[in-house]
Amino acid sequence: MIEKETHYWTIDPNNIQQENKKIAEAATLLQAGEVVAFPTETVYGLGADATNSDAVAKIFQAKGRPADNPLIVHVAEKAQIKTYVTEIPQIAEKLIDAFMPGPLTVILKSNQKIASIVTAGLDTIAIRIPDHTVARALIEASGRPLAAPSANTSGKPSPTQAIHVFQDLNQKIAGIVDGGEAGVGVESTVVDCTGELPLILRPGGVTKEEMEAVVGEVLVDQALKQSTEQPKAPGMKYNHYEPDAPLHLIQGDTAFFQAQIDQLISESKKVGVIASEELANELQASHIKQIGTRSDLKTIAKHLYDALRFFNEKEIDIILCETFTDQGVGQAIMNRLQKAATKEIKQ
């Protein structure tokens, strides 16, 4: 890949009106068919004009992303969703009204106005409205729907800070818009609304329980962990979120977790630990990354990807991480950890 200059803008999301010049500069690059990374409430996205096949191809090139992995289209307001779909079923309408802008992506029937490279040739489109002032301002300024997967090298942990994007994609993309740390920390929930009942294809920032409170029964795709078919949504088929060192998930009590650490140390391994505050306070290890409290799993989700990147420059041989409940946002946390892990060890 030919190296290119990567423009970098720091934008205050709380004073967006004063940042118009920077937003306009980034939007001009998008209009010219370039790729620009930008913040959303979930993770940083790697955006390109979703109606421009050549522009979107640059996303796949920069990330090293498989071409049969569809992209999510980001728009600024609900009216724009109708521009790119054949219809919005009543259940989808209820979900959109309840959770957008926000960390929810709906899959609807496409009217083919979006480039086929975005939908991987499928007759459906994944679309959402991000709940981030910078993201929506950029979409509006560009006048384009933006196809935007996570702004990282394919297969690696998603970026929740602009520095993560810079580490992966500097000189591979035209620009990075730094709008601060992402608040949710895991990607949007992807729900297929083309069937009789909503079907979760990827758990994320909106939980199954939250959706069921609005529309009743919501199904969960049984192929969440691994699918060999062409994926209908991002995150379904390929390995994702992998840190540089092997990641082992440890399911057991504190003594069992400590025994795994001690065994590896006895083998002269340098061990990194990712743990909740509760577990971290009970373990004896030289390299522990605390990621939040079990009593509020949203804190775990927010810090998960940063933790998966944390040990990359610390010459760690192996990373051990505790497991969490699969209820609520815990379903999204465990989905990401299981895709990132090379092994699961149970007591």
Determine whether the annotation assigns residue 128 to a binding site: yes
Determine whether the annotation assigns residue 42 to a binding site: yes
Nearest-angstrom CA–CA distance, 342 and 317 = 13
- The answer to whether residues 171 and 3 touch, using CB atoms and an 8 Å cutoff, is yes
Determine whether the annotation assigns residue 266 to a binding site: no
For residue 67, which of 189, 9, 149, 170 has the smallest C-alpha distance?
149
Nearest 5°: the CA angle 44, 180, 140 is 65
Determine whether the annotation assigns residue 57 to a binding site: no
Determine whether the annotation assigns residue 336 to a binding site: no
For residue 191, which of 205, 179, 175, 203 has the smallest C-alpha distance?
203
Determine whether the annotation assigns residue 8 to a binding site: no
Classify residue 235 by its DSSP letter.
T
Q: Where are the beta strands (DSSP E) in the chain?
A: 7-10, 36-39, 44-49, 72-74, 104-109, 124-128, 146-147, 175-178, 189-192, 199-202, 219-220, 247-251, 271-275, 288-290, 318-322, 343-346
HSE-up (13 A, CA, CB side) for residue 184 = 26
Determine whether the annotation assigns residue 301 to a binding site: no
Classify residue 188 by its DSSP letter.
P
Q: Where are the beta strands (DSSP E) in 283-332?
A: 288-290, 318-322
Determine whether the annotation assigns residue 142 to a binding site: no
Determine whether the annotation assigns residue 335 to a binding site: no
- The encoded tokens of residue 128 equal 């959402």
- The answer to whether residues 47 and 35 touch, using CB atoms and an 8 Å cutoff, is yes
Determine whether the annotation assigns residue 188 to a binding site: yes
Judging by DSSP bridges, how do beta strands 247-251 and 318-322 pair with one another? parallel
Cite the annotated binding site for L-threonine by residue number: 42, 74, 128, 148, 188
Cite the annotated binding site by residue number: 42, 65, 69, 74, 124, 128, 148, 150, 158, 188, 202, 241
Cite the annotated binding site for ATP by residue number: 65, 69, 124, 150, 158, 202, 241
